Amino acid sequence: MSASNIHSRELRANQQVPDSTSWKIKLLYDGECPLCLREVDFLRKRDAGRGLVAFVDIADENYTPELHGGVDFETAMGRIHAVMPDGTVIKNVEVFRRVYETLGMGWVYAMTKLPVIGAFADMLYGIWADWRLRLTGRPDLATVVAKRQQKIECTSQGRCQV
């Protein structure tokens, strides 16, 4: 097995993505957000090991945008994103709608398919997303991104200040 195959396999293992493309949607979530984790735990239970949804923790230090639709950490932290098997990236309420449909619970978000209700739902989600970090007791997005970058540099350079 080549070094690149081993590296790819390790990245997939770290990103919790099944080896094959049996998944129907790849959900990018913030593993440091307590509310996000509650939702992901609920969705994992509904998936029941079928692998229909690939769950990718963007807060994992090994998160690699190139493996996940090119969605960088800062973008993913700002709004929820998902990647479809064909590489299409979706965001906002459409992510929830598609994940719930995939898991056989499409009725939960069915009303958001209607233009007016969908626009209203996206607007409400945008407000929630803007306040999510603060409401969960975390620093603002710029601080989270800066701390992550500092941690990556520290790890990659092996020179960390304590």
Q: Tell me, letter by letter, the H, E, C secondary structure of the chain.
A: CCHHHHHHHHHHHHCCCCCCCCCCEEEEECCCCHHHHHHHHHHHHHHCCCCCEEEEECCCCCCCHHHCCCCCHHHHHHCCEEECCCCCEEECHHHHHHHHHHCCCHHHCHHHHCHHHHHHHHHHHHHHHHHHHHHCCCCCHHHHHHHHHHHHHHHHHCCCCC
Segment 7-18 shows an average pLDDT of 44
Residues of the chain above pLDDT 90, percent: 78
> What pLDDT, on the 0 to 100 scale, is given for residue 8?
42
> What pLDDT, on the 0 to 100 scale, is given for residue 151?
85
pLDDT tens by residue, 151-160: 888 877 766 6
Return the domain boundaries, the chain: 3-157
> What pLDDT, on the 0 to 100 scale, is given for residue 1?
42
pLDDT at 104 over 50: yes
Segment 73-100 shows an average pLDDT of 97
pLDDT at 113 over 70: yes
pLDDT-based confidence at residue 11 (cuts at 50, 70, 90): very low
User: For the whole model, what pTM was predicted?
Assistant: 0.82
